[in-house]
């Protein structure tokens, strides 16, 4: 699974100071931001597995960015390349690496990424956090109930396929009983309220009459 990294660094850095080539060579999918505003917007859109902060030649206020990011409820581990004092009051997930230490950076990235490999499911317009049972859509984080998450996970994992009500009840509610599926209907409605622009006219979570439901990966 591709690991998505947000690299925060000054856009004027020369090639020897930039970390972009290093991260790309290690197989990471990298997005770059140079300002706090751009970094916050990219994080809210991408929800990266990791954030790498390159302190070289930058006036970027990491502490202020972290405070703004905390308010979005997006939990992302950091790797800070620079003096440990730059990291400020950070979580235990923050890893600090000295500048110019290529091997140390590689090890720090692997350590930070070790718990991120199967965290996210990304489809157009939606990101599911399998650890926190959350969903990101249009920059907003939604908390999902265990059953909501299990149902949406099932539908997304089988996108563009028709799943019968029987299959859904077996997989999500672990029952073969189909005498009363109102709880399924209620959960479908709750999910549509979170993933659809107009829940009453769904474009992504479609009802297949007499059969079940289908999640559309790329709606027209």
- For helices 182-195 and 165-172, angle between their N-to-C axes, nearest 10 degrees: 90
Average pLDDT over residues 13-34: 92
Residue 11 confidence (pLDDT): 85
Could you read off the pLDDT of 66-87 as tens digits, one per residue? Answer: 889 888 889 899 899 987 666 5
Provide the percentage of residues in the chain whose pLDDT is more than 70.
95
Q: Given pLDDT bands bounded at 50, 70 and 90, which one contains residue 28? A: very high
Instruction: Name residues whose C-beta falls within 8 Å of residue 78's C-beta, 6 or more positions apart in sequence.
Output: 50, 51, 52, 53, 66, 87, 90, 93, 94, 95, 112
Q: Given pLDDT bands bounded at 50, 70 and 90, which one contains residue 99? A: confident
Could you read off the pLDDT of 30-72 as tens digits, one per residue? Answer: 999 998 899 999 999 999 999 999 988 677 888 888 889 888 8
Residue 89 confidence (pLDDT): 53
Average pLDDT over residues 122-127: 96
Residue 154 confidence (pLDDT): 98
Residue 143 confidence (pLDDT): 97
**Top-confidence residue, 214 or 36:** 214
pLDDT at 90 over 80: no
Provide the percentage of residues in the chain whose pLDDT is more than 90.
64
And the tokens for 212? 């079940």
Instruction: Please give the Cα distance from 1 to 127 (Å, whole number).
Output: 14
Residue 53 confidence (pLDDT): 92
pTM here is 0.86
Q: With residue 162 as reference, give the H or E element that holds it.
A: strand 162-164
Residue 82 confidence (pLDDT): 83
Q: All domains of the chain, ordered by start, with CATH?
A: 4-113 (3.40.50.2300), 120-215 (1.10.10.10)
């Amino acid at each position: 699974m591709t690991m998505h990294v947000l690299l925060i660094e000054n856009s004027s850095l020369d090639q020897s100071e930039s970390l972009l080539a290093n991260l790309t060579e290690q197989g990471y999918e990298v997005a770059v931001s140079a300002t706090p505003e751009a970094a916050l917007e990219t994080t809210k859109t991408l929800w990266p597995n990791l954030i790498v902060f390159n302190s070289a030649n930058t006036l970027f206020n990491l502490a202020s960015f972290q405070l703004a990011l905390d308010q979005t409820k997006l939990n992302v581990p950091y790797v800070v390349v620079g003096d440990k004092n730059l990291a400020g009051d950070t979580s235990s997930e923050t890893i600090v690496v000295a500048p110019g230490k290529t091997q140390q950076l590689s090890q720090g990235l692997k350590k930070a990424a070790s718990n991120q490999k199967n965290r996210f499911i990304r489809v157009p317009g939606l990101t599911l956090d399998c650890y926190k049972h959350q969903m990101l859509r249009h920059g907003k984080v939604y908390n999902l109930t265990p059953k909501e998450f299990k149902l949406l996970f099932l539908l997304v994992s089988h996108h563009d396929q028709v799943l019968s009500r029987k299959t859904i009840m077996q997989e999500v509610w672990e029952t073969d009983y189909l005498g009363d599926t109102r709880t399924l209907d209620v959960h479908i409605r709750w999910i549509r309220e979170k993933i659809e622009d107009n829940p009453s006219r769904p474009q992504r979570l479609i009802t297949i009459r007499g059969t079940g439901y289908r999640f559309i990966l790329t709606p027209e």
